[in-house]
């Protein structure tokens, strides 16, 4: 059925796609060109690189020692942060392979970590206002690139707030999933927990940081009790804006004593269709063009 190869003309190289200039409208891989019906070499290799970076984001262990040092320096610069060195904890997922296959284990602290937090012996009469919890999640790259930048921006917001914020020691969790933050918050006796976690990496976004907020955290809460801010990174939702949104939610949650679907996000910077869960696709600056003005029509 296939045509005979045409050997009467010399090979002209890869067939170009002149509509590639439409990439001004989309980050999608359009107009890649072709050799026969196949991807040109440079596009095939570019894809492999993007995939390799996303894979590395999933499998590179987070450098907890370096992160700890950076956080200690941050606490010297921002008085609102807790001065104790960060506490290093671990989930029940013993390694990365287990973590990927058993999300249930990633949601629970291991025994040693529970003992460590219980030994902290914080007065039950004096709860912390906020516990910051950092977990590697599915992208250590996201934490390495964005955690400290975001916390610095948040610390500035917290310091400028009219009410006092008493922060728990920062906790760092190896092989952690979102729900484990509630475990930590409960054991630390914190009114609020804000979890920073590496999101599932996309091919063009290997370093997205996710933020999850819970009021009155305790073991076993479901997703409906958490507010989420997604895609925190310089190319997505920049640190300062993310800190402002988080601060809005923190203030509201503390005042109304709720979080999750009951806590609607009505911060002024948000789009009209605000929702308790801020979607991953908030950076919608370009208002969609009217269909009638589309170039295909």
Residue ranges of the binding site for adenosylcob(III)alamin: 178, 199, 228
Name the residue nearer to another protein (CB basis): 189 or 205: 205
Of the residues 7, 10, 25, 278, which one makes contact with another protein according to CB under 8 A: 25
Out of 75, 135, 150, 288, name the contact with another protein by CB under 8 A.
Answer: 288
Binding mask 193-232 for another protein (x = CB under 8 A): -------xxxxxxx--------------------------
CA pair distance 52, 67, nearest whole angstrom:
24
Side-chain-side CA neighbours of 271 within 13 Å: the count stands at 14
Tokens 């599932």 found at: 200
Give whichever of 39 and 152 is closer to another protein, judged by the CB atom. Answer: 39
**What is the per-residue binding string for another protein in 46-85, x denoting contact by CB under 8 A?**
-xx-xx--xx-xx---------------------------
Q: Is 253 in the site for another protein (CB under 8 A)?
A: no
From the list 25-33, 74-82, 165-173, 251-259, the region that binds another protein by CB under 8 A is 25-33
CA 177 to chain centre: 12
Q: Per DSSP, what are the bridge partners of residue 245?
A: none
> What is the rounded CA–CA span in Å between residue 82 and residue 209?
22
Q: State which of residues 40, 116, 219, 270 lies at the interface with another protein (CB under 8 A).
A: 40
Residue 94 lies near another protein (rule: CB under 8 A) = no
- Kindly tell me which of 48 and 218 has the beta carbon lying closer to another protein: 48
Residue whose entry in the numeric block shows the structure tokens 């009155």: 216
Cβ neighbours of residue 171 closer than 8 Å, sequence gap 6 or more: 86, 87, 88, 89, 117, 131, 132, 133, 134, 184, 188
Taking the C-alpha atoms of residue 32 and residue 18, their distance in angstroms, rounded to an integer, is: 10
Kindly indicate which of the ranges 42-50, 165-173, 188-196, 247-255 contains the residues binding another protein, using the contact rule CB under 8 A: 42-50
> Considering only residues 7, 8, 10, 18, which one is a binding residue for another protein as defined by CB under 8 A?
18
| Residues making up the binding site | 178, 199, 228
Residues in Cβ contact with 192 at an 8 Å cutoff, skipping those fewer than 6 apart: 129, 130, 131, 185, 213, 214, 215, 217, 250, 253, 254, 259
The Cα 177–Cα 146 span in angstroms is 18
Binding mask 102-131 for another protein (x = CB under 8 A): xxx---------------------------
How far is residue 206 from each of residues 20, 47, 131, 225, 251, measured CA to CA in Å?
24, 13, 26, 27, 30
The binding site for another protein (CB under 8 A) comprises: 1-3, 13-34, 36-40, 42-43, 47-48, 50-51, 54-55, 57-58, 100-104, 138, 200-206, 273, 279-281, 283-284, 286, 288-292, 294-297
């Amino acid at each position: 059925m296939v045509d005979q190869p045409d050997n009467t003309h010399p090979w002209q190289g890869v067939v170009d796609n002149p509509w590639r200039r439409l990439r001004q409208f989309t980050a999608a891989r359009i107009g890649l060109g072709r050799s026969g019906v196949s991807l040109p070499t440079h596009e095939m290799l570019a894809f492999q690189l993007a995939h390799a970076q996303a894979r590395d984001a999933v499998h590179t262990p987070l450098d907890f020692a370096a992160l700890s040092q950076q956080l200690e320096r941050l606490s010297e610069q921002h008085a609102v942060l807790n001065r104790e060195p960060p506490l290093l904890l671990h989930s029940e997922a013993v390694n990365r392979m287990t973590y990927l296959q058993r999300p249930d284990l990633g949601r629970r602290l291991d025994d040693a970590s529970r003992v460590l937090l219980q030994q902290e012996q914080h007065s039950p009469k004096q709860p912390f206002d906020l516990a910051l919890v950092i977990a590697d999640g599915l992208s250590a790259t996201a934490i390495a690139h964005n955690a400290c930048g975001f916390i610095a921006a948040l610390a500035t917001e917290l310091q400028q707030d009219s009410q006092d914020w008493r922060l728990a020691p920062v906790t760092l969790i190896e092989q952690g999933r979102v729900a484990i933050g509630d475990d930590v918050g409960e054991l630390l006796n914190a009114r609020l927990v804000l979890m920073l976690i590496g999101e599932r990496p996309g091919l063009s976004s290997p370093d997205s940081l996710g933020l999850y907020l819970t009021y009155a955290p305790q073991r076993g809460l479901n997703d409906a009790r958490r507010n989420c801010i997604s895609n925190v990174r310089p190319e997505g939702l920049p640190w300062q804006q993310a800190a402002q949104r988080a601060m809005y939610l923190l203030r509201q949650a503390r005042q109304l004593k709720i979080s999750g679907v009951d806590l609607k996000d009505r911060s002024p910077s948000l789009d009209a269709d605000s929702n308790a869960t801020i979607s991953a696709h908030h950076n919608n600056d370009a208002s969609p063009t009217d269909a009638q003005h589309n170039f295909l029509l």
